[in-house]
């Protein structure tokens, strides 16, 4: 029998001290148990952008660790002209349009860009805005100045020294780098991470838009029809995209590109509320 | 609850448990006090008394509560627990009353335990 302390009591026959000293370790153990249980139950289904971790099988084809499938860029253009090249393709019955900026400077802006701005060659909505307070979702850096913080989506796009970097990470040093180097940074859903599909919980079908990187080429891919996030991401994977994040899509999203001196909307413009905190990724001519 | 028997090389003490008020440690001795005010100092350590109570009474001994290093009381005779004054009064409410001392924490635990048994 354990030695009793002066501040304890023990009921005869129970062999267990009735002191509050037992309460703290018991509560700690219960709390740790609950946390472990919650993590085990919630993690497989509760998080978005989850990569499958199933055991490998013999007959089911397995994803390969990223060895980029694509051997060459989509565009064969190597000149100095500044323009947007548009390509159309169908992958897995998903009709895609690909918009490749050539010799253009990428950046971010807050507020809807003007179609009268002749330097603008392409723009698309970037980070989302919250429905409740209409503020930018996730971390956002505008020309070196952080104007929003937080992690809500794991995908990111950083623009540093006019170079676009797309990836997926909970903590990216590129946020700090963007602030140091007068760059840009925003967060969005990751769709493709190192050639592997990233599962997201969004199940509805909509017009999809993504910022993609493949063979050193950065481009926007849009779906011609309403697609689920999964089908759209899978099409991008099969297209050979190495990294991709979502851009605000849907029929209410705003964005356009210039072709033959004409601005063409990504999708038919619909009447909608314009929010001051709407963010855009834009490509401009070098002036 | 039956009888509790404790013995050493020279003595044997047999007590009806329902008559036991408390047992108090006094060095290597234990003072047994019954509700008829009989006090008997027995050469046995309180820890050994507790062991014997566990052994002989088992769960039937749950009326008896060890409080700190120097007391075993019968909860049926608890009359007052004063945590602030560190006092515990045992009484049969018919003229027998003993005031004992214990640590605040132990008395608080005792109070909580008694309260938990009536809810």
Q: What would the DSSP string read from start to end of A14-43?
A: T-SB-SGGGHHHHHHHHHHHHHHHHHHHHH
Asked whether the beta carbons of residue B64 and residue A12 sit closer than 8 angstroms, the reply is yes
Q: Which residue has the tokens 């001519």?
A: A285
Compare A17 and B104 and report the one with higher pLDDT. Answer: B104
Q: Which of B50, B57, B109 sits opposite A18 (nearest CB)?
A: B109
Claim to verify: residue A202 and residue A144 sit in the same structural domain: yes
Claim to verify: residue A101 and residue A18 sit in the same structural domain: no
Tokens of A259: 């072709």
Instruction: For residue A273, give Cα distances in angstroms to A167, A194, A222, A276, B77.
Output: 30, 36, 22, 10, 77
List chain A residues with CB under 8 Å of B109: 7-9, 18-20
**Nearest CA to CA, how far is B68 from chain A (Å)?**
4
Q: Per-residue pLDDT tens, chain A, 287 aa: give them.
A: 778 888 889 998 876 555 555 566 777 788 888 888 877 765 544 444 544 444 555 555 555 555 556 678 888 888 889 999 999 998 888 899 999 999 999 999 999 999 899 999 999 999 988 877 888 988 999 999 999 887 778 899 999 999 999 999 888 889 889 999 999 999 999 999 999 999 887 768 888 999 999 999 999 999 988 888 899 999 999 999 999 999 987 777 889 999 988 999 988 777 778 888 899 999 999 87
Asked whether the beta carbons of residue B62 and residue A6 sit closer than 8 angstroms, the reply is no
Nearest chain B alpha carbon to A6: B68
Q: Please enumerate in sequence order all residues whose Cβ is within 8 A of that of A67, keeping only pairs 6 or more positions apart, or say none.
A: A195
Alpha-carbon distance of B43 to B6, in angstroms, equals 10
Claim to verify: residue A92 and residue A37 sit in the same structural domain: no
Coil vs helix vs strand at A63? coil
Nearest chain A alpha carbon to B51: A1
Edge-first strand order for the sheet with B78-82 is B78-82, B87-91, B97-101
Can you tell me the ipTM of this complex? 0.88
Compare B37 and A152 and report the one with higher pLDDT. Answer: B37
Claim to verify: residue A165 and residue A244 sit in the same structural domain: yes
Looking at the domain assignment, is residue A54 inside a domain? no
Claim to verify: residue A103 and residue A220 sit in the same structural domain: yes
Instruction: For residue A197, give Cα distances in angstroms to A34, A55, A242.
Output: 32, 17, 10
Claim to verify: residue A140 and residue A236 sit in the same structural domain: yes
Alpha-carbon distance of A29 to A35, in angstroms, equals 10
pLDDT value of residue B28: 84
Claim to verify: residue A31 and residue A164 sit in the same structural domain: no
The CATH H-level (homologous superfamily) assignment of domain B3-118 is LytTr DNA-binding domain (2.40.50.1020)
Q: Please enumerate in sequence order all residues whose Cβ is within 8 A of that of A132, keeping only pairs 6 or more positions apart, or say none.
A: none
Q: Which of A5, A10, A12 sits opposite B57 (nearest CB)?
A: A12
**Nearest CA to CA, how far is A175 from chain B (Å)?**
53
Asked whether the beta carbons of residue A1 and residue B51 sit closer than 8 angstroms, the reply is yes
Asked whether the beta carbons of residue B65 and residue A6 sit closer than 8 angstroms, the reply is no
pLDDT value of residue A48: 45
Q: Please enumerate in sequence order all residues whose Cβ is within 8 A of that of A270, keeping only pairs 6 or more positions apart, or say none.
A: A251, A252
Tokens of B79: 């009359």
List chain B residues with CB under 8 Å of A12: 50, 53-54, 57, 61-66, 72
Render pLDDT for B22-34 as a digit per residue (tens, 0 to 9): 999 988 889 999 9
Tell whether the model's pLDDT for residue B50 goes beyond 50: yes
Tokens of B48: 């050994």
CB neighbourhood size of A267 (10 A):
18
Looking at the domain assignment, is residue A73 inside a domain? no
Looking at the domain assignment, is residue A76 inside a domain? no
B106 phi, psi to nearest 5 deg: -65, -40
How many structural domains is chain A composed of?
Answer: 2
Domain range for residue A159? 83-285
Asked whether the beta carbons of residue A11 and residue B64 sit closer than 8 angstroms, the reply is yes
A87 phi, psi to nearest 5 deg: -125, 145
Nearest chain B alpha carbon to A22: B109
**Nearest CA to CA, how far is A3 from chain B (Å)?**
8
Compare B80 and A150 and report the one with higher pLDDT. Answer: B80
Asked whether the beta carbons of residue A13 and residue B61 sit closer than 8 angstroms, the reply is yes
Claim to verify: residue A110 and residue A247 sit in the same structural domain: yes
* Interface list for chain B against chain A, based on CB atoms closer than 8 Å: 47, 50-51, 53-54, 57-69, 72, 103-106, 108-110, 112-113
């Amino acid at each position: 029998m354990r030695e009793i302390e002066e501040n304890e009591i023990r009921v005869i026959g129970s062999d267990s001290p009735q002191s509050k000293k037992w309460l703290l370790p018991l509560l700690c153990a219960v709390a740790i148990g609950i946390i472990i249980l919650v993590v085990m139950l919630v993690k497989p289904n509760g998080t978005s952008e989850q990569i499958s971790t199933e055991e490998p099988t013999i007959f089911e084809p397995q994803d390969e660790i990223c060895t980029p499938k694509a051997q060459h860029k989509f565009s064969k253009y190597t000149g100095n002209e500044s323009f947007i090249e548009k390509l159309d393709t169908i992958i897995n019955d998903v009709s895609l349009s690909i918009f490749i900026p050539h010799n253009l400077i990428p950046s971010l802006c807050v507020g809807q860009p003007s179609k009268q701005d002749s330097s603008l060659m392409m723009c698309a909505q970037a980070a989302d805005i919250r429905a409740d307070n209409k503020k930018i979702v996730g971390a956002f850096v505008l020309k070196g100045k952080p104007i929003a913080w937080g992690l809500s989506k794991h995908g990111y796009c950083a623009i540093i020294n006019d170079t676009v970097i797309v990836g997926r990470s909970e903590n990216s040093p590129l946020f700090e780098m963007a602030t140091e180097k007068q760059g840009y940074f925003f967060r969005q859903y990751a769709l493709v991470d190192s050639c592997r599909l990233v599962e997201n919980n969004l199940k509805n079908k909509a017009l999809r838009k993504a910022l993609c990187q493949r063979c050193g080429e950065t481009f926007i891919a849009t779906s011609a029809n309403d697609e689920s996030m999964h089908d759209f991401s899978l099409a991008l994977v099969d297209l050979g995209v190495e990294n991709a994040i979502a851009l605000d899509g849907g029929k209410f999203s705003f964005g356009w590109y210039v072709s033959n001196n004409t601005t063409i909307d990504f999708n038919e413009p619909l009447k909608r509320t314009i929010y001051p905190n709407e963010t855009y990724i834009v490509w401009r001519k070098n002036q | 609850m039956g009888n509790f028997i404790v013995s050493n090389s020279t003595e044997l003490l047999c007590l009806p448990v329902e008559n036991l008020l408390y047992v108090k440690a006094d060095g290597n001795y234990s003072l047994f006090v019954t509700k008829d005010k009989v006090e008997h100092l027995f050469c046995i350590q309180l820890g050994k008394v507790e062991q014997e109570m566990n052994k002989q009474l088992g769960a039937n001994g749950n009326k008896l509560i060890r409080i700190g290093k120097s007391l075993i009381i019968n909860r049926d005779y608890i009359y007052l627990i004063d945590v602030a004054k560190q006092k515990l009064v045992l009484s049969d409410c018919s003229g027998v009353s003993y005031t004992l001392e214990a640590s605040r924490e132990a008395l608080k635990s005792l109070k909580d335990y008694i309260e938990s048994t009536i809810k």
